[in-house]
Amino acid sequence: MPAVLEEFEPIFGQPKVEWTGSNSGLGQSSEFVFYLHSPDPSHLRICVTDFRDATWESVRSVSQLDDMRDSVGIGGSWSDFIHYILASVKSEDVKLLLEALPDSNDTKSAKLVAQKSKGMPRISFSLTKLTASAASDAMANLSLELFKAFKGLQHLFIQDRWTSAYPSGSRCVFKSAYAEKNETIQSQLELNSKRQKLQKTMNSLDKADVSAPGQSSPDKHAAQDPSPAKVTKRAVPARRRAKGRGVVLQDSENEKDG
């Protein structure tokens, strides 16, 4: 069964820069960042950049790593060798060896060298310089992966602080109180929303009553015409007027006979 690379977290670091050559790095960058990861189970990739004008990379297949294992002289299993590479790159003794071209500011060669500890075998990766879009893509990918790693560490840090500040029992009480408060706030928001909708409906009805042409209530007419209503005098019959003025005298039967 062919060897494969086990999944591992990307490794970031800042190597110590050492220049060799006639110019000894005059006018060149002295701050670099490297990024080691496995793009797939069959390859190991290293990217080194100063985020300006110098970017290198090294890609090693599983078979090339197996050859390196024989040349370095690391005993044990394949997994032990990969773990040794990762431990060496994570150590404090990681160097970026740069060789300058004669009478030039350009670089002739670059190599990343790592050693787990003094007296242990060194791991060396020859680097190839990237230019144009390849360099831009490499820097962009490194920046994105570095940000992801930062967010992961930030999450772990916050989680650790939370665990330290709130033991399991108090966390349950805190979460319960938070949930209850959240429900209360949600209920208040829903009630306010219903009140606002009701108020808008009432305002719409009032506007409709005012704007309706030729329609008004009797109460409004009464309010607009405060003068008292005129009373029309009715004619009284003559017979009733006569009775009102006095008594009508008539001759009695005795007077007629006399």
Does the residue 102 lie in any domain? yes
Does the residue 171 lie in any domain? no
**On the CB side of 93, how many CA atoms lie within 13 Å of its CA?**
14
Positive or negative, the CA dihedral 207, 210, 211, 217 is: positive
Q: What is the pLDDT along the chain (258 residues), one digit of tens a residue?
A: 457 788 888 999 999 999 887 666 566 677 999 999 999 999 999 999 999 889 999 999 999 999 998 888 887 899 999 999 999 999 999 999 998 887 777 788 999 999 999 889 999 999 999 999 999 999 999 999 999 989 888 888 888 777 776 666 555 555 666 677 777 887 877 887 788 888 878 877 777 666 555 555 555 445 555 555 555 555 555 555 555 455 455 554 554 454
For position 111, which CATH number holds? 2.170.210.20
Does the residue 208 lie in any domain? no
Strands (E), the chain: 11-13, 16-20, 33-40, 43-49, 55-61, 94-100, 107-115, 122-129
Alpha carbon separation from 49 to 3, 16, 82, 88, 135 (Å, rounded): 30, 13, 23, 19, 9
Does the residue 206 lie in any domain? no
Does the residue 198 lie in any domain? no
Q: What is the pLDDT of residue 44?
A: 96
Residue 233 CA to residue 5 CA, distance in Å, equals: 118
- The count of domains in the chain is 1
Q: 0.95 exceeded by the pTM?
A: no
Does the residue 98 lie in any domain? yes
Residue 230 DSSP symbol: P
Q: What is the pLDDT of residue 241?
A: 52
Does the residue 218 lie in any domain? no
Does the residue 83 lie in any domain? yes
Tell me phi and psi for residue 31, to 5 degrees.
Answer: -120, 120
Bridge partner list, 124: 113
Q: Are residues 95 and 19 in contact, defined by beta-carbon separation less than 8 angstroms?
A: no
Residue 233 DSSP symbol: P
Alpha carbon separation from 101 to 22, 52, 113, 144 (Å, rounded): 7, 19, 20, 32
Q: What is the pLDDT of residue 106?
A: 79
The sheet carrying 94-100 orders its strands as 11-13, 33-40, 43-49, 55-61, 122-129, 107-115, 94-100, 16-20
Nearest to 49 by CA among 91, 83, 88, 98: 98
Q: Are residues 48 and 55 in contact, defined by beta-carbon separation less than 8 angstroms?
A: yes
Residue numbers of the domain that contains 23: 11-154
Q: What is the pLDDT of residue 196?
A: 80
Q: Are residues 5 and 43 in contact, defined by beta-carbon separation less than 8 angstroms?
A: yes
